[in-house]
Structure formats: structure tokens, C-alpha cells
Amino acid sequence: MATESQNDAQSKSQPVLEPYFPKATEMLFYTGNITPFFKLLTKTSSSVTEQIMEYMSMMLEKMKTKAKADQFKENNYVKLICPPEDNQSNAANGTTTTPPNETEELDRSDLKFSVKIFLRTLEPEILSHTINTIFSELKENYLESVMIALPNYGSLLTLKEFMPLWNVVEDFVNKQKILSAGVCDLMLPLLSDIYDTAQVKPFADQINLGLCCSIPEELSKYVKEHNIQLLTHSDPIDVLNDSDFQQIIREYCHEYDALNWKPCSIVRYSSVIANRGIIKSKGFLVITFADYDRLGRYRETDETQAMKNIYYIILSIWGLHHPASQILSMTDSSYQ
């Protein structure tokens, strides 16, 4: 483990003169099934945020040390995965791995998949894209349960804002791709408004007891009367914010690679062997987009222009005229 930490520190310290993915507008970080190598985490009792950031660090370190320098240069979409080192064959296709102690063959009917989507936007298109990505990466045709969390909005959320998102969920339920769907941290009257309005009723409401020390009596009464499960969780308010995400990128990549990225959805999934409570697989997906308009053209901010000027001055002082001209030429053509 000490050697791995030393390699990681050395990888961070190595200067990066050119962006790894200058044209990317979407990135996916996919851990795959983390159960075989969960012990590789520095702190196994760490928070969800710390776990995600550590897995992202593993992926970026692997990319920096083993990927070709120009592997993602022309890509608009970049996908990074984090398989165990002893399962390199799965890295090529992104498939999840099976824990070494699981040798029995299981049918799909033996498993129950649960998914929680931490949505950091109110755009229905992002939620639809996220759910489709889950199906694509997990290679599943349906999910037993999906929970929708909107950590950045909380009590300020309105029915008018929420229903377009729930309509997306209803569409997947009607297609029998999601068997049950629930919500997170919704209080009355919003929960009752959703229940009265929605075609597909939420089967559960998951409440953070860290923010709500005790369940309100009126909420407890309402969920019992309407057969809604009342669950609890301890997830942070914002699982992965913009600055933390960009900082992780910045530690391993070029400064340009880190600019303007916004995690739009974070997904935590698990599959459990039915009637036995044994976890078969679990993992995370982080879906992030660059700050771009509806036409997909990158919107160059003052920060981006300022970074160009700073790097031009620094590289000129160093006498690295060729890399400077390459970077400026690349950013001028890619980011406008």
C-alpha cells in the first residue's frame, strides 16, 4: 500500500504540459463492481464523498500512468473505469467483476438491483440520460428499485419543478424497466402533492435523520395511510460538488482539463441475492458535463481566458515555446 501511495504522489507531482481531453464535453467515471477491491480504499469507513473521490483518483492515476498521451485528444465523450488490477481483461469493455468468493451461478431472478440517483440538476433530459447510462453500463434490462435524490434543492423544491423529473421515472416504470421508484427527503405538503398528481406513486420516502432529528408526526401518519415506506439515510447533502470534482481532475491532469466541469448526477447501485441479504455487487457512476450551451458549443468563460493568458506567460518564461503554441492553438480551435 505504501508503494501505491508513493506512485500516486509521484503521478500527481509530474507536470502535465497539454490537456488530456481538450474536446470532451461529457465524462463518465464508472467504478464497476467495487466489492472485490473495496479493501483497497485508504479508509474503508469513509463517507460516500470520500469513497467516490478516492475511486476517481484511482481512475485518473491509471489513465495518467498507463494510457497513451493522446488517447482522448479528439474525444467528445470520455469514459474512465476502475477495475481491480487482477481483472485487466474487464477494463476493455467496462463489465463488472465477480467477487472471488462467489462461485455459484445465479439467475437474474435471484438478484435485486437497487439504485440511488443523486441528481444535481432539474433537467429531465439529464435524468433520462442517467437512467439509460445505468442500464447500458450494468447491462441490465430492468431495476427493482430506483430512488431519486435532489440534494441541492431540499425544501425549496416545488411540485412544478419536480413533476417533469418524475414523469421521466414514470415512463421507465410504464415500460417495466423500473419496478418501483421512490423519493428522498421530501416533506409535506410536497410529498402529498406528488402522490395526488403522479400516475406512478412513490413507494418510499428516504429521510436524512442528520438533518431531521425526528420524523414529523404528520409525515409519519401520512405515509402509513398511503402505504409509503419511510426509510432513513445518512448521505451528505451534496455528494460531489463542482469544486471537489474539478480539484480531483486538476491533481492529475492539465488545468484546462479541470475547468468548467459540473457533476450532473452521481449513481450508487447495489445488487443483493434475494432472500439472503448477500451483496453481489455495488458501485458508483459519476456523470458530468462541461459548461456548454444547447448547441453543444463550449462556452469560454473569463476563467478559461485568464488561464490561457497565465499559461502563455509561464510557458514563455520557461522558454517552452513549442508546447505553448500547441496549447494555445488547440484551445483556440476547441473552446470557441
**Mean pLDDT, the chain, as a whole number?**
82
With contact defined as beta carbons under 8 Å apart, do 23 and 36 qualify? no
- Taking only the tens place, the pLDDT of each residue in 65-106 is 887 778 999 999 999 998 655 444 343 333 444 444 455 789
- SS3 category, 114: strand
Dist CA 123 CA 130 (whole Å): 11
Q: What's the pTM value of the predicted model, to 2 decimals?
A: 0.80
Where do the domains of the chain lie? 305-336
- Taking only the tens place, the pLDDT of each residue in 198-214 is 999 999 999 998 777 78
Residue 199, number of CB atoms within 10 A of its CB = 9
With contact defined as beta carbons under 8 Å apart, do 194 and 183 qualify? yes
With contact defined as beta carbons under 8 Å apart, do 105 and 116 qualify? no
